[in-house]
Amino acid sequence: MSRLLGDGHRRFLQTLMAVGITDEQEARALYQHCCDTHKMQCIPDKLDEFIEAINSRLQPMFMQIRKGMSEENGHQYYALVNMAETDITRMTSDYADNELELFRKTLDLIVSSENGSASSTDILNSTDTMTSKKLKKSETEHLLTRLVQDKWLCERRGEYTLSTRCIIEMEPYIRTMYQDQVKVCHICHNIAFQCQICENPSCGIKIHNPCVARYFKGRVEPRCPACDDFWPHEIPDRAHMTSPSSQQGSMNRTASTGITSSPTRRSEAARDSTRVLVGVCSCRK
């Protein structure tokens, strides 16, 4: 059922259209800003209902604001996604056929890897088996840069991973295409790429790194939550996980991490968030 949208809802949607994806803290700051600007009542824990109202109007256009977790830091993100296409043909307007073929090959490499990443060397080598017009080395490098800029991939020291936006948007496609390979996180039940794996061959569950940090926090001897074997991996420290913004391409102007518990720091971070998204918001242009 469609609900009535106010100017605040529209402003929120327009801003999200401009940035594509935003973390929960920034979304809350934007929600507050939109309500303040349009004299709407802002109820802090009603952000999801506010977004639901927008989604009810986006549905006929096969768009949706969807929530998902970052595999890097465990934070929640909101992304505006296209639901009209069920596979990567949704990228057709931005990429040529051979570029999409290489993106599919990159997906193959990432999904079949243990740690949810593909090296630039492996991606370059995979051009040898292309069936469409083969991409040259420089074209492949240029394409990878574009895929990072467009927030489909993230890159760190020559290793490529799927961005949070890509996972949120492509999850139905990936689950269908790679149903034998893809596993979900034992803790949060979301699709898992960058994660730790239980080394017991009869178990082999996956847990996202941030979920590992959360689950094993304070436990003296970490044990697999499924088979109770010793968990032999290093437990990541949540406090040292990547900030939400550093992996999100153009959003990396945001300095806020939301990890700090200091109220002063948190309000500074919230102010930064507001500044970044309000900078995008059309009311200041």
* Crossing angle between the packed helical segments 7-19 and 263-280, to the nearest 10 degrees: 90
Alpha-carbon distance 284 to 160, whole Å?
A: 36
- Answer for which of 17, 43, 226, 283 binds Zn ion (CB under 5 A) is 226
- Answer for which of 153, 162, 187, 251 binds Zn ion (CB under 5 A) is 187
197 binds Zn ion (CB under 5 A): no
| Shortest distance (Å) from residue 197 CB to Zn ion | 9
200 binds Zn ion (CB under 5 A): yes
- Answer for which of 51, 54, 110, 211 binds Zn ion (CB under 5 A) is 211
Q: Which stretch binds Zn ion (CB under 5 A): 86-94, 143-151, 201-209, 252-260?
A: 201-209
- Biggest distance spanned by C-alpha atoms of the chain: 58
| Shortest distance (Å) from residue 152 CB to Zn ion | 21
Alpha helices per DSSP H over 113-258:
120-125, 137-149, 164-177, 209-216
Question: Can you list the positions of beta strands (E) in the chain?
Answer: 21-23, 63-69, 76-82, 118-119, 153-156, 159-162, 183-184, 191-192, 195-197, 206-208
How many residues lie near Zn ion (CB under 5 A)? Answer: 11
Identify whether the C-beta of residue 22 lies closer than 8 Å to the C-beta of residue 47.
Answer: no
188 binds Zn ion (CB under 5 A): yes
| Shortest distance (Å) from residue 259 CB to Zn ion | 17
Vertex 38 angle, CA 6 and 54, to 5°: 30
242 binds Zn ion (CB under 5 A): no
124 binds Zn ion (CB under 5 A): no
Q: Which stretch binds Zn ion (CB under 5 A): 3-11, 22-30, 110-118, 226-234?
A: 226-234
Residues in contact with Zn ion by CB under 5 A are 185, 187-188, 198, 200, 203, 208, 211, 224, 226-227
